[in-house]
């Protein structure tokens, strides 16, 4: 099973009391606000959940796995997610109960 924007919107409807339209807009605005901050070059820190960080990568040699041809992988900025202590602990607890 996987959690989607629709699930988040229905939680906002059930638990916070937003109407359906407000809930859907809120979920869209939430992810858009995070995306915009990252696009602007800001790290995003959500205490208890984790941090979205940006890393600038230099150009490096790559290879087309199908043809074996060498092609450089251009320099780029990428997003990484570092889970927070609290989230790590909760996820580890799941692993414990599954075994």
Minimum separation from the CB atom of position 2 to another protein (A): 4
Tokens 């570092």 -> residue: 82
Under rule CB under 8 A, residue 20 binds another protein: no
Quickly count: other Cβ atoms within 10 Å of residue 9's Cβ.
Answer: 20
Q: How far apart are CA 72 and CA 95, in angstroms?
A: 40
Contacting positions for another protein (CB under 8 A): 1-5, 7-8, 11-12, 15-16, 18, 22, 25-27, 29-31, 33-35, 37-50, 52, 54, 56, 76-81, 83, 86-88, 90-96, 98-99
């Amino acid at each position: 099973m996987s959690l989607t924007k629709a699930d988040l919107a229905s939680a906002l409807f059930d638990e916070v009391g937003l109407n359906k339209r407000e809930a859907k807009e809120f979920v869209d605005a939430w992810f858009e606000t995070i995306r915009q901050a990252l696009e602007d070059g800001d790290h995003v820190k959500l205490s208890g959940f984790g941090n979205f960080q940006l890393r600038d990568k230099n150009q490096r040699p790559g290879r087309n796995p199908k043809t074996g041809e060498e092609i450089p992988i251009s320099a780029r900025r990428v997003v990484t997610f570092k889970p927070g202590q609290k989230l790590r602990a909760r996820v580890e607890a799941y692993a414990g109960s599954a075994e």
